[in-house]
Amino acid sequence: MRPMSQALKARSIRGLAWLLVAAALAVACGPARAQTDASEKNWPSLRETLFGTRPILDGAAMLSLEAPVRAEDAALVPVAITDLQPGRIKALTLVVDENPAPVAAVFTLSPEARVRFLETRLRVNAYSYIRAIAETEDGALYMVKRYVKASGGCSAPASKNADEALASLGELRLRQFPATDPASEEAELQLQIRHPNLTGMQMDQVTGLYRPAHFVQTIRLSADGKPLMSVEGAISLSENPSLRFKYRPGGAKALAAHVEDTEGKVFEKSWEREGKRDKDS
């Protein structure tokens, strides 16, 4: 059984000032108050750190963000950026306001790839806004956001099977989905990376020592040697990071992934592109 409080319960004790024993750890739930009221208290300083004084426009016409209203599992929250205006966006920043490392990932998109859809999985430590900020080719910023209630106040965003994630560390998989519409010039891929993505916040209860953070830092995907997409990742990406997206492959014949983690380990793999139509080749 896992802990799971209801919003009602949280509300009943909202008057209590929860001093965050684990503020330094930041694995704690936010104050009970922050869990029932959608708080933007962290955003102004985050915004300044990430984007300075640059204006950020409403992104509704540029992209959408899909995230569950209530996360079933704080360790594994699927988040999708949809309806991206293809070819116009060069970078996407995914932010989880209340996480200890709020910037979950920064995606750099090649305009030719015309990425329209992108899905990944996040750790969400507390009830929090999740934001996607898109930067267009001309340098303008557009933002969309969703408020996510992590399950039951917050079940720990912990690993499920750390032994397995470590044993096959660095294994790369690429799933190539068959096109639902054969006439479509779009293709869909999922890159899976075996990695525990350790947050550095796990204290060994016997030794009292923290296990060092160890996570996937850089992902570079290329098609026929040309950049397709790159990702700067951090500890808010779930164990075994996953990246699923739709793009225009054009005539690409080969796909390759280059992944680096914080220990300097490099994992690489390449694949022949499946489902090429005749006119592609």
Partner 1 sequence: MPDGDNRGAIANIGFVIGAEGVAVIDTGGSYCDGMGLKAAIRARTALPVTYVINTHVHPDHIFGNAAFAGEGVSFVAHRNLPRALGERGEHGLQSYAEQVGPEAMQGTKIIPPTELVTDTLRLDLGGRALVLIARPAAHTDADLTVFDEATATLWTGDLIFLDHIPVLDGSLKGWLALTAALMQQPAARIVPGHGPPSAPWPEAGEKQLRYLQRLAEDLRGAIRAGKSISEAAAVCGTGEKDGWQLFGAYNSRNALTGFAELEWD
The yes or no reply on residue 204 touching partner 1 (CB under 8 A) is yes
Out of 43, 68, 147, 260, which residue is the one contacting partner 1 (CB under 8 A)?
Answer: 68
Distance CA 201, CA 188 (A): 34
The yes or no reply on residue 27 touching partner 1 (CB under 8 A) is yes
One-letter-per-residue 3-state SS of 16-45: CCCCCCCCCCCCCCCCHHHHHCCCCCCHHH
The yes or no reply on residue 169 touching partner 1 (CB under 8 A) is no
- At its nearest, how many Å lie between partner 1 and the CB of residue 248? 18
- Total residues contacting partner 1 by CB under 8 A comes to 61
What letter does residue 72 receive in the DSSP assignment? S
The yes or no reply on residue 72 touching partner 1 (CB under 8 A) is yes
Contact 71, 150 (CB under 8 A): yes
The encoded tokens of residue 125 equal: 């430590």
- At its nearest, how many Å lie between partner 1 and the CB of residue 84? 16
| CB-nearer residue toward partner 1: 59 or 241 | 241
In Å, what is the CA distance from 202 to each residue of 153, 162, 167, 199, 212?
19, 12, 19, 7, 8
Out of 46, 169, 203, 256, which residue is the one contacting partner 1 (CB under 8 A)?
Answer: 203
The yes or no reply on residue 159 touching partner 1 (CB under 8 A) is yes
Distance CA 5, CA 70 (A): 12
User: Which range, of 12-20, 46-54, 106-114, 258-266, touches partner 1 by CB under 8 A?
Assistant: 12-20
In Å, what is the CA distance from 27 to each residue of 80, 103, 155, 272?
24, 16, 10, 41
Q: Is 202 helix (H, G, I), strand (E, B) or coil?
A: coil
The yes or no reply on residue 173 touching partner 1 (CB under 8 A) is yes
- Which chain residues interact with partner 1 by CB under 8 A? 1-6, 9-10, 12-13, 16, 18, 21-22, 25, 27-29, 32, 35, 66, 68, 72-73, 76, 78, 80, 119, 121, 151-156, 158-164, 173, 175, 177-178, 188, 192, 194, 201-206, 211, 238-240, 242, 244
